[in-house]
A and B are shown apart, each in its own frame.
Chain A
Amino acid sequence: MTSVAAQADLLKELIVGVREGDRLSAERLVREHDPWVRSVIFGVTGRVDLVDDIAQQVWTQVWERLNTLEDPSRLRSWLYSVARNAAIDMSMARRRQQRVGELVEEPPDDRRGDHSSPVGRVLRDELHATLFRAVEALPAIYREPFVLRHLEGWTYAEISEVLGMPLESVETRLVRARRLLRESLQDKL
């Protein structure tokens, strides 16, 4: 059996386990996929402070809708669309709330005040805070592949599969992301 076929079987087994309510399978599913789901959420929203809330929503939706996943080998693409839609919905909702002034929202940079967390400790470093702000400011179409590449270490093929775009587009977006970042950092470093 090829490794691809073996992986597909393992994935199928995992999904069946989750559908049948096996707690260990559910834990494994979250453990293996939660990190990159979070990267997608950050890639779409550019807001690290929204990631926890949206990730929670995503996993709730996954439990509710897992029966609609027909082909377990498409899990990653399916999870990506759930995460992406949840991230877009939440971003739009937040924007509406901000517009009508119903919510005084903390700017993302306020997370740097959290000195007790690893986030706070490292973001106090001037260089990393500047770099992170530059990534936040990237347009989402460039930020998404950039984050999946730099945070998850995914190959172009993996990014292309999940984002549902040609390999060349992934490559071009990464080139442009790097160029935009260099330009935005030119006077800051």
Chain B
Amino acid sequence: MAGASMDDREFQIERLISRMLDDEATVSERREFDVVARSDPRAAALFEESRSLDREFGVALRAAMGRSVPLRRAQRWRAALRVIGVAAAACLALFAWKQPARPPSDGRQPQAASSWFGPDDAQADRFDPRSRLYDAPIEQRRKVDSEWIVIPAENPGEFMVISVDRIKTRASAKQRGF
């Protein structure tokens, strides 16, 4: 049997490490391991190695069984920022849509249905970049996968919000022996 040949002390250290990794260790067992790890660098190294392997085993197994793989902290932040970005853009668009158009200074009545969300024949959908009302697009960049471009529309208080999803690339594996 594999365990029969295990050195007793070595087995006890592995047992402690296993209990710590599985959240089964008591407070006194944690203290005991702290003492062992301080006096035996091999035990500390084994703990670190086992902890990192355990994490990767979890990811590999979840992926193989078709389960969702838990996001790492940075990925969670990026996902949260993306949601916040979308929500902010939606709020901005809603605000711009609800904002009543101010009448032109020459006294003419504002055009009806002057909204990006208006019917197909809405006048506001005509967007002439050469118009004197045109301002340079304001590009807002965030450290997320999505970028937001806000372009002022023809009427005051109206904006077009464009969401651009950037393609993010990353190295997935190091290949040898090509």
Q: Given A38-B65, A39-B65, A180-B2, check contact A131 B174 (CB 8 Å).
A: no
Query: What count of chain B residues pass the 8 Å CB interface test?
Result: 34
How many Å from the CB of B70 to the closest CB on chain A?
A: 11
The reply on A175 being an interface residue by CB < 8 A is yes
What residues of chain B lie closer than 8 Å to A151, measured between beta carbons? 58, 61-62, 65, 67
What residues of chain B lie closer than 8 Å to A126, measured between beta carbons? 173-175
Q: How far is B57's CA from A172's CA once the two chains are assembled, in angstroms?
A: 19
Are A171 and B66 within 8 A (Cβ)? no
What residues of chain A lie closer than 8 Å to B58, measured between beta carbons? 150-151
Interface 9-residue window, one of A12-20, A65-73, A80-88, A115-123: A115-123
Q: Given A171-B18, A175-B15, A179-B2, check contact A35 B67 (CB 8 Å).
A: yes
What residues of chain A lie closer than 8 Å to B146, measured between beta carbons? none
The reply on A63 being an interface residue by CB < 8 A is no
What residues of chain B lie closer than 8 Å to A178, measured between beta carbons? 14, 17-18, 50, 53-54
The reply on B105 being an interface residue by CB < 8 A is no
What residues of chain B lie closer than 8 Å to A149, measured between beta carbons? 22
Checking A51, A124, A128, A175 against B65 with a beta-carbon cut-off of 8 angstroms, the contacting residue is A51
The reply on B63 being an interface residue by CB < 8 A is yes
Are B64 and A123 within 8 A (Cβ)? yes
How many Å from the CB of B16 to the closest CB on chain A?
A: 9
How many Å from the CB of A179 to the closest CB on chain B?
A: 6
Are A124 and B172 within 8 A (Cβ)? yes
How many Å from the CB of B178 to the closest CB on chain A?
A: 13
In the complex, which of the residues B15, B58, B66, B69 has the most CB atoms of chain A within 10 Å of its own CB atom?
B66
Checking B11, B22, B61 against A156 with a beta-carbon cut-off of 8 angstroms, the contacting residue is B22
Interfacial residues of chain A within 142-189, with CB under 8 A of chain B in the complex: 147, 149-151, 155-156, 171-172, 174-176, 178-182, 185
Of all A-B residue pairs in the complex, the 3 with the closest CB atoms, nearest first, are A122-B63, A128-B60, A131-B60
Selected A-B contacts with CB under 8 Å, 9 pairs: A119-B66, A122-B69, A124-B172, A126-B173, A127-B173, A131-B56, A135-B57, A171-B24, A181-B53
